[in-house]
Structure 1
Amino acid sequence: MNPSTPDFPLAARLANIAPFHVMELAKIAAGLEAQGRHIINMGIGEPDFTAAPPVVEAAARAMTDGRLQYTGAVGIASLREAISAHYAKVYGIDVAPSRIIITAGASAALLLACATLVDKGAEVLMPDPSYPCNRHFVVAFDGQAKLIPSGPEQRFQLSEGDVRTHWGPRTRGVLLASPSNPTGTSIRHDELARIVGAVRERGGFTIVDEIYQGLSYDDAPFSALSLGEDIVVINSFSKYFNMTGWRLGWMVVPERLVSQVEKLAQNLFICASSVAQHAGVACFSPESLAIYEARKEEFRRRRDFIVPALRELGFKVPVTPDGAFYVYADCSGLSDDADRLTIDMLHQAGVVLVPGLDFGPHTARNYIRLSYATSLDNLKEAVVRLKAFFG
């Protein structure tokens, strides 16, 4: 046997984890850029802004002062208290700091939530389309993600009726995202309350991914935490706070789950980055929040430019996104194969968009996702290129 080609068996669950096509397109784009092509990337959901100056300064101070050791698995007290105060100020909700657990990004929070709540064979309901990694977190713990086709008539989101219709003997809960990746749409407060009620009636859990909640444009912001202390909420410093590479997030859990999640965090992660945690406290200073709110308005301007521009190009945008920095557009009037269309647009127009393939089978062939987390100048140039491409 050649030791460089081991033949030991791999875990069966790997067969249920699909490649992330967003990243595959990014690799193709990088190859074209290496050849000298100018590529406008509207594929990856990463803000073109970076951490606010007070946050960078706080990180530098933490390093200079030597605050680099492990922290407790649930995070430093000052950051948990700052998040608690933010919930009170922005959402009018009293969330005890003891219920807030600091994590290595929202991905770690989702992993901890699924490790705590998903047993082997457990079924978790989520909408199709939805962020692909969410269903893979369920699969990683030998659960089953049940994708429910969710069209524009319900804002591409799960509904109370979906929960009542699709809840089966193996269903244990729901995993929602509001605002959503890939659609940029939120679940209305009254509908979310009905969903939570239907899940409670069945003794299930509700996990709500709110990592884009800070980027809500049209209505007064609200958190699912306003609906009760039995809901698990996930959030992150990556999107609104522009700290993608810092790998810092948090989760809010019912008090009775804190010790269980802490036990898992101790074993799986030890703690989130200590430097990122000390820097994260500075996100909630008045100076930083003023910067983030100004950047939010810039995202709104970009949305208000790109949505009508897409419609003029021949895309259908059946639901105007009210949050995040995505547009989910129907390309069926331009192509019968969204995957092929995005590859052609990349090679011929130098514009990266993402096919619906990643986000579930229901919209795979007819929809593309556009991220407007790039400059307005880039968006305008992309529209010029796409006009020529479709010309």
Structure 2
Amino acid sequence: MTLHVSAAETLLRRRRTALSHALAAVAIFLCITSLLAQPAAASSRLKDITKIEGVRENQLIGYGLVVGLPGSGDRAQNALFTEQSVRSMLERFGVALDADQILQTRNVAAVMVTAALPGFSRAGDKIDVTVSALGDARSLQGGTLLVTPLTAADGNVYAVAQGQLIIGGFQAQGAAGSISRGVPTQGRVPEGATVERELAFPINDLDTVRLILKNPDFTTANRIASAIDNRLSGRFARAIDLATVEVQVPSDYRGEVTTMLADLESVDIETDEVARVVVDESSGTIVIGNNVRVSPVAIAHGNITIRISERPIPSQPSPFSRVGETVVVPRTDIQVEEDLGNGFRVIEPNVTLQELVDGLNAMGVTPRDMISILQTIKSSGALQAELVVQ
């Protein structure tokens, strides 16, 4: 049987082949273009790796009372300060109490109130507060925090807190037992404190601004100084140490330091880091940095398995004998097996992170065993990185 192919069909096949080749060429071109367009190294914005010296939070603390508890507050005989606080509060409202009268404070709990005052906070701003029981209260569920002044380390009042508590845990108790979830003796009051006093920080009047690195490193500090000089078109920045970069405010930005910082925040910095391996022995977690290198070293990984089984055998006297008794004779079976794994593995010079992990995984190493291997490699001097064991 003879097959006849028309000229039109032949032309159609040629066009399809040419089209497929063209699409393949375009795909290869796009892949090469995307690879060339990728950055050589990861970079971070200046605002993400540094902070401004002097711009920070300030911790506030206060002592207060939580009322409205359904009988889960402090007991008077165990928390005498709660009763004294209630007496003082009632006397300020003109309520006279006998000195020998014992107050029942099961609906009241003494608490410590803490908060963080952000930098550049203004009078009238709202901040969150955390409320923690101070006495033997079982739960703060359903309580309301009364007006509580919050002071800083200098003794001045910077905020006043008050509001309904939000508890993340709960506690239920019955005649035969109780159950609890979370921490019912701690809660929060979102936007429960009002800022009454401001912390003055005239940042626009500064002639010099210092940037503090969140991860100190000499190389990163010098790169930050160079990037700032390029953005400001001059020599205005210098690395004082591995954690501090000092920037002289140019004349164009005098009185407008915030504008200068806004212009510098988006500068991309190629960060560097110390080669480090962090090991958490309690959880078996291992974190290996990207710059970790291993010198030539041979590793042998093996396990010894010991199996002990008990197979007691009963021993009985002969039939119709008048002496002897049935006893159980212990029989212990001990087997020792040594798994040599894959024997010795030689690690080549300048092994990268991926190659190290792939090699250890190929040997069937578990995270627990990998911790011991890394510690041994470090002891031999072949691990060119800092080993941090937590």
Q: After TM superposition, is the score higher than 0.5?
A: no
Query: TM-score, structure 2 length as denominator?
Result: 0.19
The structure with more strand, counted as a fraction of residues: 2
> Which structure: larger Rg?
2
Q: Whose relative contact order is higher, 1 or 2, with alpha carbons under 8 Å and at least 6 apart?
A: 1
Structure number with higher helix proportion: 1
Q: TM-score, normalised by structure 1?
A: 0.19
